[in-house]
Chain A
Amino acid sequence: MARRAWIAAGLAVAFGVSAFLLHDHEGASASFSALTGFALGVVFQRSDFCFASGVRDLVRARRRRMALGILAALAAGTLGYAVVFGLQMPDPTGAYVPPTAFIARAGWHVVLGGFAFGAGMGIAGNCVSTSLFRIGEGSLAGPLTLAGAIVGFVLGYRAWPFLWSHAVATAPTVWIPHHVGYAAALAIQLALLAALALVVLWKCPPEPTVAAEPATPAVVVRRIFVERWPAWIGGVLVGLIATAAYLRTRPLGVTEELGRLARAWSGTVRLDGLDQIAGCTSSVQRGLGDNGWLVLSLVWGSLCAAIAAGQFRMKLAPARIYVRALAGGVLLGFGAMISVGCSIGVLLSGVMAMSLHGWIFAAAMVAGVWMTERVLPRG
């Protein structure tokens, strides 16, 4: 076995032991969040699952690979969520929405947030989740994007009181199953995803096909651990992981812990509409929250997968890459804060939950990327 395989295996075992110990020290949900993060990191790295490249490749080069992967993730997750919803809330037409799903108000703040997020993606070349798994691949721009995102979050907190009064507070929460029932909601959403996939297939040329070769053990190992997976396989796995996370802990999201850091750092005390009545529970968290474990484990999972594949590389890029990573990060953070989530929390977890705000975010985000592709030099 190659040396890099031993290193990756060692790191994976170390993660397993850590997750086991985490269960005893921080509880089952922390441990489960860590396992979820690790799985996501592996799947993201192996399939190169990236929202930024999904949209950019489509706009710039008519490459359809990642866009189809994202649509596959949304379709798989929609089905998974529907299964859980049907159990938790047999009749969706009542006065409530599933309590922990990311179903949120659909107002113009989501348009602004999605557009800013898309522009940030275009400038940085990464979104938040991609920055995380690229860190596992040795990216030096990733940490800068995250640092920029923290600044963006603080700007978002500054803007929030205005947005809350003028957009958010009166915006309706539109949960599609509430209006049409599960069957029709599923039909609408899957039909929409299928239509988008058809447009992508129609507008873009086919990807080069991989030559068929006999499935010897060496070939199978290479295909799994070295070559990138087909994006749709990554997408379906992301949909499965998202469903498991929603069922056991919380819907997937990668900006909660970043937002908490930014909030603590900026001393933001009160945010109307975001801080709900806490009852008697104290919402102050000591140490790392579940989302923090998820994010760290995502980087770790990506690192294992990248090392195994020989795709871990640290090398300096031209300075403008870092400037763009940082500046784009600010827009990513700002957009994620005012939409209360990013391409994972709002786009993936929102659309899977059949919440209208997820779709609005998706459309605005694509527009944001498209705009930067038009305006900015390619870098």
Chain B
Amino acid sequence: MRLLIALALAALAAPILAQDALVTTEWVAQHAADPSVRILEVSVDPGVYEKGHVKGAVGVKWHSELADPVRRDIVSRDAFVANCQRWGIAKDTTVVLYGDNNNWFAAWGYWIFATYGHANVKLMDGGRVKWELEKRPWDLAIPAPAPTQYTVDKVATDLRVRLADVTAAVEKKSAVLVDVRSPDEFTGKVIAPPGVQELAIRAGHIPGAKNVPWKQAVKDDGTFKPVEELRKLYADAGADGSKPIITYCRIGERSSHSWFVLKELLGYDDVRNYDGSWTEYGNAVGVPIENEAGTVWTGK
């Protein structure tokens, strides 16, 4: 009986937990001037923030402030600390991220904040799409936050996998791989979407991976689908939380979006993002690949 009550409580608590990582546009509008909240815009396209943003939001440049500009890696710990201090973020600040393109890079930013152990980080559901659909105003003023003290106490190592972890997982079949790219990229008909510069030498997907394009997780207004719908979507692909899950895409940003769904909305314990993604795996030597489209390498 006690077990049943505990299970019932857990079931009740799960949706509350799930909601915790998301805030609504209305919540953000109300907390624009709240000193315990820092709103960050992470948009893919440069210049979007400058043309108008949520009042009080600080603009984050993903090329240089969330990524290491020289080596291929996420922003270094020291640079992350320096950036947070400049953005006026303290350890107990509630950080709310949003951006263009259905929050792709905002979710990537979320994953980096989580990696560097920031306790209170949230995503604004729907991002810029929802804000505009609700006919809310954009602001032009650039805030100048007072610098803060910030430290990273512990770097989370259980949110990210490297190539070696992925090949080991493939060999031992120890994880469910979720490929969030388009079906054509997944089957190997194309290496990357048209116009994309960063390519791979081979097309296809990691053996055993299941294709759940990221877009299936969102509604037309940019917000995430209801939790139960999401649970079914990923469970149908075998990602139900019973086994560790690895998400990947082409360069690791879209997969952060799906990582966010699995880890934060569905609350699965072991979900990791493979940010090397296809531009690393498809270029790696000696790793197994599945290519259903049959676009095998020829000399023709």
Binding site for B on A (CB under 8 A): 87-90, 95-96, 98-100, 247-248, 270, 275, 277-284
B144 on the interface (CB 8 Å rule)? yes
What per-residue 1/0 map shows which CB atoms of B92-105 lie under 8 Å from chain A?
A: 00000000010011
CB atoms of B104 and A280 under 8 A apart = yes
CB atoms of A277 and B46 under 8 A apart = no
CB atoms of B44 and A279 under 8 A apart = yes
Total interface residues on B, CB under 8 Å, equals 28
CB atoms of B195 and A278 under 8 A apart = yes
Taking a contact as CB atoms closer than 8 A, the residue among A99, A275, A278, A280 that contacts B50 in the complex is: A99
Residue of chain B at shortest CB distance from A247: B51
Q: Which candidate, B27-35, B203-211, B247-255, B281-289, is the interface stretch facing chain A?
A: B247-255
CA of A280 to CA of B104, assembled, Å: 8
Given known A280-B104, A280-B254, contact A99–B142 (CB-CB < 8 A): no
CB atoms of B44 and A99 under 8 A apart = no
Which of B45-78 touch A at CB < 8 Å? 45-47, 50-51, 61-64
Residue of chain A at shortest CB distance from B252: A280
B137 on the interface (CB 8 Å rule)? no
CB atoms of A87 and B140 under 8 A apart = yes
Q: Can you show 15 pairs from A to B with CB atoms below 8 A apart?
A: A87-B140, A87-B141, A90-B142, A96-B61, A98-B50, A99-B46, A99-B47, A100-B46, A100-B47, A277-B63, A279-B44, A280-B105, A280-B249, A283-B195, A284-B194
CB atoms of A88 and B142 under 8 A apart = yes
> Across the interface, which residues of A come within 8 angstroms of B45, CB to CB?
279, 281
Nearest CB of chain A from residue B222's CB, rounded to whole Å: 15
- Besides A247-B51, A278-B198, A279-B104, 8 other A-B contacts (C-beta < 8 A): A100-B47, A270-B197, A278-B196, A279-B62, A280-B249, A282-B194, A283-B195, A284-B193
Nearest CB of chain A from residue B249's CB, rounded to whole Å: 8
CA of A176 to CA of B136, assembled, Å: 36
CB atoms of A277 and B198 under 8 A apart = yes
Residue of chain B at shortest CB distance from A95: B64
Nearest CB of chain B from residue A277's CB, rounded to whole Å: 7
CB atoms of A275 and B46 under 8 A apart = no
Taking a contact as CB atoms closer than 8 A, the residue among B46, B47, B144, B196 that contacts A282 in the complex is: B196
**Closest 7 CB pairs between A and B?**
A284-B195, A100-B47, A99-B46, A283-B195, A279-B44, A284-B194, A99-B47
Residue of chain B at shortest CB distance from A99: B46
CA of A278 to CA of B251, assembled, Å: 11
CA of A90 to CA of B144, assembled, Å: 9
